[in-house]
Amino acid sequence: MKLGNQVEWAIHCMELLARVPDGVYIPTKVLAKFHGIPKEYLSKALQALALAKLIDGTLGPKGGYRIARKPSKISLLEIVEAVEGSKKTFHCQEIRLNNPCLPKKRKQADSICAVASAMYQADEAWRKVLREKKLSDIIRGVDRQVPPELMAASTHWIQSALD
């Protein structure tokens, strides 16, 4: 039970995309260099985000990605699900139906397995936190942590990279 690195990358990139002025596109190349991660592979995560309509991309010079919605309208769950898929963390195999005492005909579940139910509750608790946590909250948190001069330098660095 482990999340891939793409999740971290995706959230950081979304946070950065949310900071640039409207209408500005940032290419994968710049996002990758800024975060020090492999460009080609990051591309896959961004593709997933684009497919989920969280960002949209444009081709050609001055192209790249921009955020598709306001940060307050994007939850972390959407980002995580876009990258990792929306399947539940626990997949019930219904091994209780393998019980040799069970008559052959009743090989179908009529209720949710108690084990699966418990695991689904845990899964839902996890999702609930991510659903209520918005991208805007992340931005606020980062603002509180990063010193203003570093933030300004970063903004400037991005600007230069776009030319």
Site for a second copy in 138-157 (CB under 8 A): 138, 141-142, 144-145, 150, 153-154, 156-157
What does the angle CA 129 – CA 73 – CA 19 come to, to the nearest 5 degrees? Answer: 105
Q: How far apart are CA 135 and CA 118, in angstroms?
A: 29
Measured over the CA atoms of residue 55, residue 41, residue 31 and residue 4, the dihedral's sign is positive
Q: Does 19 bind a second copy (CB under 8 A)?
A: no
98's tokens: 């393998």
Give least dist CB 42 to a second copy, A.
10
What is the per-residue binding string for a second copy in 66-105, x denoting contact by CB under 8 A? Answer: ----------x---x---xx-x-xxxxx-xx-xxxxx---
Q: How far apart are CA 78 and CA 90, in angstroms?
A: 19
Q: Does 34 bind a second copy (CB under 8 A)?
A: yes
Q: What own/partner pairs with CB < 8 Å and gap ≥ 24 does 141-145 have?
A: 142/15
49's tokens: 């985000």
User: Would you state the torsion angle of the CA atoms of residues 135, 125, 86, 68, taken in this order, to the nearest 10 degrees?
Assistant: -20
When the beta carbons of 11 and 24 are compared against a second copy, the nearer one is: 11
What is the per-residue binding string for a second copy in 35-54, x denoting contact by CB under 8 A? Answer: xxx-----------------
When the beta carbons of 104 and 144 are compared against a second copy, the nearer one is: 144
Give least dist CB 132 to a second copy, A.
10
- Residue 117 contacts which entry, a second copy, DNA, none (Cβ below 5-8 A, type-dependent): a second copy
Give least dist CB 39 to a second copy, A.
13
